[in-house]
Amino acid sequence: MEDLNQVLFQIEAAGLARATVAAILQDAVVVTGRGSEPRMCDVLECVATGSLAEGDVVLTWFPNSEERGIVLGRVRTSPRRAADEVDTGDLVLEAKHSLTLRVGSGSITIREDGKILIKGKDLVSHAQRLNRIKGGAVQIN
């Protein structure tokens, strides 16, 4: 137990600390730690602010008492979310130039010019406008 306390002391001395997200601002995340005042943090690129929520427990690093801290990532107590925490709302994925979904030999690609390319062994499609179909054999209706 003494070794663990030594390690925890060294981690805190290095500026690493567990904190809770108090607010998400346009240009920063505000966190609070054990009895500490709220502090402003930047967010490490791999943890986008859109994936953080108020109340999340995060790992932070504060280089010193004057500098803005950095949120390094979210801390989870279990590897999977509880069933009641799973978001059942809509999922929106955005890309600047193209987005491709691929499973095995099938794929759907959406391009920025509005073209949607669907590739697969068998296709079933419905369209409000032009429906162009290419394949070794095509069955309509």
Q: Which two tokens stand for residue 137?
A: 């054999």
Rounded Cα distance, 61 and 36, in Å: 14
Range of the domain at 123: 93-134
Identify whether 82 is part of a domain. no
CA distance 70 to 57: 14
Same domain (yes/no): 7, 43: yes
Q: For residue 83, is it within any domain? A: no
- Same domain? For 72 and 97 the reply is no
Task: Tell me: do 48 and 97 sit in the same domain.
Answer: no
Give the tokens for residue 84.
């009641």
Number of domains in the chain: 2
Q: What is the pLDDT along the chain (141 residues), one digit of tens a residue?
A: 456 555 555 555 566 777 888 888 888 888 887 767 888 887 765 545 567 778 887 878 777 767 788 787 777 655 444 444 556 677 777 888 899 999 999 999 999 999 999 899 988 777 889 988 788 888 877
